[in-house]
């Protein structure tokens, strides 16, 4: 029986992410070992905090290439919040290059009257890939929990799996490309809808066995 690697790079609330995965019926292993990433049957990259420290911590642990190799090999991969953003080429939040797995940049919300930044709290997803396995069993426009001041802006609009509207701005809330899925919201904080998302990811992992 394989295991799911939850990558530890000092930038995530690993306890809540793992608790959500366990409730979804999948056993996570917290690790910063390149060997574990190579041996895992699936990868979760959580993240809370700032872009530059995140990519610095990943590179200091020599995790960039193992992550890229795992994704390229077809393993199910789920990025959460900052774990979505660092997949991109760079961010307006910092100066470090991102992992560059997804072409595009991370942008800051534009200020507008009465707009709260960060975007924090419950908001509705609007599916742009409605048949994605991750959304199976969810009602249309489900509420999930967000905490972010920056959003991803992919070059290829087809990778967008869901969007969210904050003020007058509609931005990417999730991406999906082949085995790679990443979300801006926090499924582990999103009650039943978030648990369903994690359960669907667990089902995707089991289908790969």
Active site positions, annotated: 81, 186, 188
Burial category of 130 from C-beta neighbours within 10 Å (exposed 0-12, middle 13-18, buried 19 and up): exposed
CB atoms within 10 A of CB 179: 18
CA 162 to chain CA centroid, Å, is 12
**3 state DSSP class of 49:** coil
User: Edge-to-edge strands of the sheet including 160-166?
Assistant: 28-31, 4-7, 42-45, 77-80, 180-183, 169-177, 160-166, 126-127
């Amino acid at each position: 029986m394989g295991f799911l690697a939850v990558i530890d790079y000092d930038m995530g609330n690993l306890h809540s992410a793992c608790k959500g995965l366990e409730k979804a019926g999948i056993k996570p292993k917290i690790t910063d070992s390149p060997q574990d990433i190579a041996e895992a049957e699936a990868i979760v990259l959580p993240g809370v905090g700032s872009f530059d420290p995140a990519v610095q911590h990943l590179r200091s642990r020599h995790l960039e290439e193992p992550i890229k190799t795992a994704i390229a090999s077809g393993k199910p991969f789920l990025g959460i919040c900052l774990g979505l953003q660092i997949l991109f080429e760079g961010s307006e939040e910092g100066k470090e290059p991102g992992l560059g797995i997804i072409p595009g940049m991370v942008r800051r919300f534009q200020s507008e009257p009465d707009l709260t930044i960060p975007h924090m709290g419950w908001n509705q997803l609007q599916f742009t890939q409605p048949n994605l396995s991750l959304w199976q069993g969810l009602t249309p426009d489900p509420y999930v929990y967000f905490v972010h001041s920056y959003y991803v802006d992919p070059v290829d609009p087809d990778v967008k799996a869901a969007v969210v509207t904050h003020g007058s701005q509609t931005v990417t809330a999730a991406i999906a490309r082949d085995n790679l899925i990443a979300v801006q919201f926090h499924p582990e904080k999103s009650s039943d809808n978030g648990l369903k998302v994690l359960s669907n990811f667990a089902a995707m992992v089991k289908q790969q066995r």
